[in-house]
Structure 1
Amino acid sequence: MTASIGWGEESRRAPRSEPLPADPTGQRLCEIFGHYPWNFIRADLPDDATAKAAWTTVKDYPLRPRVLWNHWQDANQLIGVRFTHDTRYALLDLDAGGDYCTADGVAQIRAALETIGITRTLLLRSSWSGGLHLYIPFAELVNTFNLAVALKECFKAQGFRLQAGQLEIFPNVKAYGVQTFIEYMGHRLPLQPCSGSCLLDDDLNPIGDSLARFFWLWDGAAGHQDMDTLRHAMKIGRDNHRKRPKRRNHPVASWRHDLDLEITEGWTAYGQTNHLLKTIACYGRVFEGLQGQALIDYTLRIALHCPGYEQYCRHQHDIERKVIAWARAVEGYYWPLGTTPTRDTRHPKNNLVPFNQRQSESAQHRIRAAYTNLEQTGELPEQITARAKAIAQAARVSQQTLYKHLRLWHPEHQEGVIAIAASFLAPEEAISEAILESLDSPKIKELHPSERNMKGEALCAGELRSDTNSFTPGRGVRGDEVAFPQKAEPSAYDLDLHEQIQHQIRSLGWSGDTIRQFIADRFESKRWSELTEDERFLLLYHLRVLDSLEAGEPADVTAQDPSPINR
């Protein structure tokens, strides 16, 4: 980040020959606050004096000195300006209802400022709402960005909460724009007529609203600042800002920073109310340790002071009801940092394990029952292949599941003799047999190597042909591959998982074409044999969701797309 002149800023600087107002007080106002005329802010004076003004940025033209003075005198509108690369002042905004909008809070802030050489400030009421503005004048120009960093480091080191609704610093520590110039935040001008702004004493009592007296106090305060100490603090703050790592490693610190950033930005468009209310309540619950009515009050106060609330929030008529709902929801889900969790956070990483166990036990029970029934009726075949087929049909299990439990029906294994080679099918045979069992048998077609992969691809009889002119110089006689494609080693095949997928397909009553299309739609046109084990788990999840919804029509269920968030 840099505090140097951003691209485009120098060309937009107001010419030095701009004519000033005839009024000496107006001239002084323009000399201090009219240093940067671009992208000024304005708002109509609200009918309700305590309501928040709807500020807008004027980008079409610069605010000339005489126009600035004229707008300041207009009692029907409010006017505000932004900082440029150098400044003669800083401003602290203490919102009404915040922790620092009291005489004691102001005294604490002034004591903190003295540690970096700022010994004099001007205290004003910002508007009829009761917020406070603390002006920090200087007798010379200082670097805006370095000043912003020094103030931020000063307050953070002493434990002040820098956020909207509490304490905000103008100029702010803005980001550096690579592709576009980023402006400093704008602030309203002091002591505008009918705005409610006035000078205050140390006990927050009004002592007048004269702009001339304001500048008289301004000059006295500016001459008493310890500029050597301030320049040293600005250098240290800037160096620390450069050295600080851009990314935080601790997840809690990162989360807190992200929440604070969301709250500081506030509303930037319509449709953000629920998200921001939840964010504010979460911050108050976790990092402020609030609960009950205190959490509700905190969420409401911060929301009402967030930027863009008046302009974009469409729930202002029922904001209290929504705040109460979100505060209660957040309180039931989150807990203060460092305390005992109020809910059970232990979730099984794989909720398929209990289901697999139940399915396996059910399959074994059916195999035993089928074997006993066939044996008692004298219909149990002696030949192993015929016996396996009869038991699988009676027990409604696949050949894979049946061969997984050989001890329940196979004569050679019922006596305890274990033959490992007979207990597993070859991976490709298992896949083929499982798919053929769960899907309708496709038409038998001849297999021919494809042009690129030389893998078997089914072609209809009418498509069989031999092209003797297919040789191209670019490909050569070997084709596109630099080496002959080898068949990939098959991954470990989960027979139990396949059994569950078959069960769901039978439960849905789908045909082979339907499940093939379903797999292609969900997994980027892949076929069953191309799915990884993780993708087969995901396929099982999709089938269970559809089965639970009792979706009987394949055309309807294939249009569903469960969110991966709920996976």
Structure 2
Amino acid sequence: MIFPPHLLQLTKLFHIGFNFITADNIPEPNWRTNRKYPLNKGEFLKLYSDNLSLLGVSFGDKTRYAMLDIDIDSPYHPQNDPQAYARLLSTLEQIELVCPVPIRSSHSGGIHLYYFFPRPVSTFRIAALIRVTLINAKFPIKNGQIEIFPNTKAYSSDKSKPSYYKAHRLPLQPDSGACLLDQWGDELICAANLTDEGKLGMFLAEADRSAAANDIQWIESKFEWAYNLFKKQIAKYQHHSSKYSEVAQEWKENLELSFDIGWTDYHQTNELLPLFICYGIVFEGLEDKQELFNWVHQKIIATRGYQEYCRHQHEIERKIWDWVNGTIDNQYYVKYCGFPPRCGITPHQLVARLNPHKSQINLHNQTVAQAALERIKAAVAAILELPAQVSGRIDAIKTKAKELFGISVSTHTLNKHRAVWHPTRYQPDPISEIQAVVNETLLVCDKSEIDLDYLAGADPNPTAPASFAIAPPLDRPEPISHQQIESIECERLEENQIAQIQAQPESDRTPSIYEAFITELTPLLDLGFFPVPEVAISPDLQTSSHSYHENLSTSSSDFLNSESPLESILQRRISANEPKLESESESELEFVSTYSGSHIEPLETVSATKAHRSVVEIAQDLRANILAIDDELLREFLDHPQCEAIELTIELANKLVAARTREPIQAVVADLTRCQKIDLWRVLGVEERAAVEALMAPPTPVSPDRAIENKEPMLTKGAVVRTLTGLIGVVQHVFQSVTKPFVVHHAEIGRTILYGIEDLRLAN
């Protein structure tokens, strides 16, 4: 078999002997080291020419080249930082290494930078010269950034276990992804279309040019200087010792090289201190704290860059002691091949075994499941008409849940709770049905719709309407909540349960959640636990709040002086020979009998009357979406039986938000009942509540920054208006204190839209 002359010339440049490596020709080869027999020329030429194999060689005592391996991810790769790459070449030129031959090593994109010599030179001394030069220039010599071939191998005095130089892959092997590069690291255009033999010939020609350009005599004159400096500063860190394993020796070398580099910038003290502590304990055997401190302190202050970059010099002793105490006390390191003083378990584990804690029950899954069930119930209650088909209901519930909560429910979860929504497996909740009736009764407690004569008990023996169907009794020994009021319990508790409730003191039957809520709001809105000081309404609030306060105070006073609607329900039940439950005092039911009843969660009613959301919920939605109220919310607001109460609630909330001192806030809430204040607080957002809290916190009032403007609308309800775009509509409602107060219905397009005063004109 006849080989091309270029291949034969290649055998003269590279070492053929022991410690060669081979691998399959794949993008990420798995290299195998062969030290059992030396490589010969025949195998060299065969493996190099094989498209399916890769070959790499090591070094002997003499070499005719040196090579730097720069990884594709290295900060010194020309694609990543051309200036750093140029600085690397300039550093090598200082030792007369010029005219490099760069090639792309493989498909990965790394660079092999070759320097050739006219005659063989000492392998170890050229490696020491390059290494010392790069270290002095602060280039890191490590895998993944810059590797030097030949490397400064460790010395071995044992002839039976010789040390070897690192091996590297040969250049420009067929189908290996290698190619010739120019001085900027780009592929040579002139060599792109050459054959493998042509590329190899160009590489050998560049090698001859590089060998002729390098001054070998000047380079060899620097060998002794570099070798002595290497032995003095680096070799003692790198030589293998029989008492260290290969892994431990590598660990030791890495630490020593880090010490040699030292500080290169600020903010590195806490990175270097633990390295010195580690080295002192593991490799110096310093287990006494004082000895370790003295050794670390001596090394630290003598490390390169300490005086220039370390900003902890005034407290370096304290920081060293902190690291020494923490490391030794926690037994992070021990002397090399030593045994840590452990008894099998740590003190913390021993204490944990002697004092076992009761395992806490993880209620996360139950909480998530309950939250999913509540979302399903809320979605079902929000859908006006459920589809008849099961699949349609599932899609509708998922869509509504996503709309309400921002998170949907899975089909699997819906199937687990079919009793809530399934057309054939639906099981109504008796508590929800009765409570829905109570909600409907409480919703009419506003002055505009309450019938005081009816609540006063004009008919002493009224007949309970059909909507007040009695639910079967339930065995529930738990205390009732603020949503399960006594008027509901009287029809489903057994006699022994009634006696148990009557025997409890009134304070025990007060819901804890409500008490916590009241306690939280007491110092903020003065909910009646202490006298409200007489504060006059500021002039800027009198015009806008006079009518609301007048209506609100009248309705609340008349309502509280009259018979409670819950008492009317109790009287109806009693007249029908239902079991009687002693009701709470009027003051204790005051939080139920509000102008909106919004503290009761709206549930689907069993009566023929259509259920409406509470005043607080609609007011919250209107204030949150005041700039873009959708048609459905507007329609719900206009059709609500307490439309005026919603608007008054929004106005009152806006007055609280616009207040700049304590006096306007106290004036706004002065005539409100305890529950009205709670409902008003719920309407406010988180940031608005924080602003009110900040105003109520100072002990002395502060003058308001600005007055609240009360602009009377120029257009009234029922007026026919024309928009700027020419649409004709009818004003259905006028808000009092919003940016776009006019609710206009356009019959020609079938939409209801919000407008500002500047957007409308009276139609002729």
TM range (shorter): 0.3 to 0.5
Question: Structure 1 length normalisation: TM-score?
Answer: 0.43
Higher CA-based Rg: 2
